[in-house]
Amino acid sequence: MSERSSLSALLHPRSVAIIGASDDATRIGGRPLAYMLTQGFGGRLMPVNPNRRTVQGLTAYASVADLPETPDVAIVAVAARLAPEAVAELGKRGTKAAIVFSAGFAEGGADGALIEQHMVAAARRYGMRLLGPNSLGVVNPRIGFYGSFTSVVEMGFPQPGRVGIASQSGAYGSHILGIAREFGIGVSACVMSGNESDIDLGDLVQAFVDDPDTDVIAVYSEGIRDGDSLLAALESARRARKPVVMMKVGTSEIGSAAAQSHTASIAGNDLVTDAVLAEYGVVRARSTEHMLDVARLATRRIYPADNSLGVITVSGGAGVIVSDAAELLGLSMPEMPVAAQQRLKALIPFCSPRNPVDCTAQFMNDLSVAGKFTDAVVREGGYGSILGFFTYTAGAESIADNLCAQLKAVRERYPDRLFVLSILASRERVRQYEADGFTVFEDPARAVAAIDAMGQFGRAFAHTPRAAPPTVPAVALPSATPSEADAKVVLTKAGIAVVPERTCDSVESAVQAAQALGYPVVMKILSPDILHKSEMGGVLVGVADEPAVREAYATLIQRARQSAPQARIEGVLVARQLSNGVECILGIQRDPVFGPVAMFGLGGIFVEVMKDVVLRRCPFNESEARDMILSIRGAPLLQGVRGRPAADIDALAQMLARLSVFAIQAGPRLQSIDLNPVFAMPKGQGAYAADAVLDLLPQLQEAPLGLSA
């Protein structure tokens, strides 16, 4: 059986066996059966309990072997020590997937981890997929399938809909499910993965991509085990135009530690996670409320790639709130055309027609004004998204029916636009507006955040594949972390330009090198054991003549011996001193989840003080590298300001793209690269690395577990 068909069966089983079924509807082994009986699951239910002839009114079976048919999915609710045997018996019968409720496995220590390994091995032997262990299971309200013991449904069963929820946490996944019900969000399915001994987050996202009942995917993640699996699923979601909104927690030091102890997974660098999710068009949710706001609006399936916001309001104060929220997010709010503003002024002389368009409370005297103003905003403003702030007037019985009709008529004339309302009204009245095609928020700032997310999805869906990364020659790595000079030799072979320099093992050779390169020069201590030279005074700049070279050589050797007496000293590096260039930093860091990640920023004090850097997963091409470079806040310094010449951004982009390819080709021994500073010379004069640190694992030492290229 294929893995995808097994995952499909997990969401849409036609028959379910409950191993460890209980006649008590409040016990873990009894809840799934009770829920499915009350919610009308249409498939066959087969409780397995050797001690009872019936369970909750259904015929019970003594063992898996006694089942009258092979179940699509089995729920395993027995003690951890018994679970491997139950899984093996299910595998022999040809069961497609098993949901393991049982706890006490890898999350509990070494003994539990060994039991978990035996259980997973049994499942794989028969090609069966496992959800869990320590999983709270699967809920599919569309078919009444409740393969879960969550008690959140006692407060009300979720309503069926088009949002799929994937959660690594069972308790918090259920919490999300309960809030979704309160928000009126319909769910296609909710899957809670637990320990992820087999089925992981990437599998769940892919299952929802393949699921015809799911339009939007909401993800709660504490840590990512398999970056490649997740990224493949996210790319599949983008191609299928299924938006993914993810709440990735564990961003703080304490939160990250909690995530690892709870799920035994790697949290990874949160800035890297941000960059990678943005690359795939995933909206990173700031909170549960934000995640569900985005999911709810996304079910309208309108994703304006060139998103801009037009606002019609009855309150100047609300207009300010919306404008502030949009500016923080970078959501464009262009002014209305001058001619349109003049026409609106003719209707209400004291209105504010720019954008936000404030028709004032005057519309209450003539409700047709609301329709006219809204139509003008849509038709003449040309905005991709429209937000109407009508507050409590939209819920007033004397106004609501007429206003709703006015707004509905405008929406129907422009079915390609995203229409959102911020109003206060009864639940019944809100349902009426929503049925007419509007998504309703009480808080206008929340509405703006959700609208901005739709633009992020639209841009991701409009993404066209770019050219392949540049070809970089394969370069053999040294057996261990090299000195600066040797690191530059390696990088030069990969096409990375470096500042002209010479290695000198005597003061006389240093004098000759300086004369050949031309004064002034930079002199640096050269040692594979001293990677950060400036911290111990190992870099001297502006060395202007022969006496200065002789003095600098002696000073550097003396400082190195004092600061690092055990270090191997190979001599001194003499380099040409460049001027009129912009200092930049280029780097590579191996992320434990996503592999090599490139970094670009302004060098020198800027990178330490401003933290103005951009990250991107390797590899990428020169066009993407250029986009990275121009995305930092300090990009104007590279483009030429206050009479300074523009830097050679093309040369920088070429270096950054080549570095990204080299990082992939180098393999898991490469831990990091630090090129700081890189001098971006004036346009047409190139870019040159003045310093290079190449951090490698020793050749005979195995790479740490979890690293991937």
DSSP string, 141-199: TTTTEEEE--SGGGG-PPPEEEEEEEES-HHHHHHHHHHHHHHT--EEEEEE-TT-SSS
pLDDT of residue 607: 66
Task: Note whether 81 and 115 are within 8 A (CB).
Answer: yes
DSSP letter for 20, please. Answer: T
**What single letter denotes the amino acid at residue 673?**
I
Q: Give the integer Cα–Cα distance in Å for 144 and 160.
A: 9
Per-residue pLDDT of 330-367, as tens digits, reads: 999 999 999 999 999 999 999 999 999 999 888 888 88
| pLDDT interval class at 697 (50, 70, 90) | very high
Which has the minimum average pLDDT: 69-78, 245-254, 670-679?
245-254
Using the predicted structure, report yes or no on whether residue 209 has a pLDDT greater than 90: yes
pLDDT of residue 264: 36
First and final CA of the chain: distance in angstroms?
Answer: 30
Using the predicted structure, report yes or no on whether residue 1 has a pLDDT greater than 70: no
Using the predicted structure, report yes or no on whether residue 257 has a pLDDT greater than 70: no
**Cα angle 91-96-100, degrees, rounded to a multiple of 5:** 75
Domains of the chain: 3-298 (3.40.50.261), 319-461 (3.40.50.261), 500-576 (3.30.1490.20), 582-696 (3.30.470.20)
Q: Give the integer Cα–Cα distance in Å for 665 and 596.
A: 10
Task: Note whether 210 and 10 are within 8 A (CB).
Answer: no
Q: Give the integer Cα–Cα distance in Å for 208 and 215.
A: 8
Per-residue pLDDT of 501-517, as tens digits, reads: 999 999 999 999 999 99
Cα-flanking dihedrals φ and ψ of residue 253, to 5°?
-60, -45
Q: What is the mean pLDDT of residues 14-19?
A: 98
Using the predicted structure, report yes or no on whether residue 700 has a pLDDT greater than 90: no
Q: What is the mean pLDDT of residues 573-593?
A: 94
Which of 171, 209, 170, 211 has the alpha carbon at shortest distance from 191?
A: 170
pLDDT of residue 267: 39
pLDDT of residue 533: 87
pLDDT of residue 3: 73
Cβ contacts of 403 within 8 Å, gap of 6 or more? 367, 370, 390, 393, 394
Using the predicted structure, report yes or no on whether residue 258 has a pLDDT greater than 50: no
pLDDT of residue 610: 67
What are residue 617's DSSP bridge partners? 597
Using the predicted structure, report yes or no on whether residue 147 has a pLDDT greater than 60: yes
Which of 596, 592, 593, 619 has the alpha carbon at shortest distance from 670?
A: 596
Cβ contacts of 123 within 8 Å, gap of 6 or more? 87, 91, 98, 129, 130, 198
| pLDDT interval class at 254 (50, 70, 90) | very low
Per-residue pLDDT of 214-227, as tens digits, reads: 999 999 999 998 99
The CA distances from residue 167 to 41, 112, 203, 260, 582, in Å, are: 23, 22, 12, 15, 46
Using the predicted structure, report yes or no on whether residue 73 has a pLDDT greater than 60: yes
The CA distances from residue 104 to 19, 27, 78, in Å, are: 17, 18, 11
Q: What is the pTM assigned to this prediction? A: 0.91
Cβ contacts of 514 within 8 Å, gap of 6 or more? 521, 543, 546, 549, 574
Which has the minimum average pLDDT: 48-52, 123-127, 258-262?
258-262
Task: Note whether 491 and 670 are within 8 A (CB).
Answer: no
pLDDT of residue 641: 79
3-state secondary structure of 352: strand
Q: Please, what is the average pLDDT of the chain? A: 93
DSSP string, 628-681: HHHHSTTHHHHH--TTPPPB-HHHHHHHHHHHHHHHHHH-TTEEEEEEEEEEE-
Crossing angle (nearest 10°) for helices 227-239 and 201-210: 20
Crossing angle (nearest 10°) for helices 400-413 and 368-381: 20
CA dihedral 525, 527, 530, 536 (to 10 degrees): -20
Cβ contacts of 266 within 8 Å, gap of 6 or more? 223, 224, 225, 260, 592, 593, 706
The bridge status of strand 571-576 relative to strand 501-504 is antiparallel
Q: Containing H/E element for 432?
A: helix 427-435
Q: Give the integer Cα–Cα distance in Å for 532 and 530.
A: 6
Q: What is the mean pLDDT of residues 304-315?
A: 96
Q: Tokens 């020793």 label which residue?
A: 698
pLDDT of residue 566: 92
| pLDDT interval class at 255 (50, 70, 90) | very low
Hey, CA dihedral for 675, 680, 681, 684, is it positive or negative? positive
Per-residue pLDDT of 440-474, as tens digits, reads: 999 999 999 999 999 999 999 998 877 899 999 99
Q: Give the integer Cα–Cα distance in Å for 687 and 651.
A: 6
Task: Note whether 263 and 196 are within 8 A (CB).
Answer: yes
Q: What is the mean pLDDT of residues 554-570?
A: 94
Crossing angle (nearest 10°) for helices 338-347 and 368-381: 170
- How large a percentage of the chain has pLDDT more than 70? 95
Q: What is the mean pLDDT of residues 244-265?
A: 61
Which of 226, 241, 354, 249 has the alpha carbon at shortest distance from 302?
A: 241
Q: What is the mean pLDDT of residues 101-120?
A: 91
DSSP string, 214-270: -SEEEEEES--S-HHHHHHHHHHHHHTT--EEEEE---SHHHHHHHHHHH------H
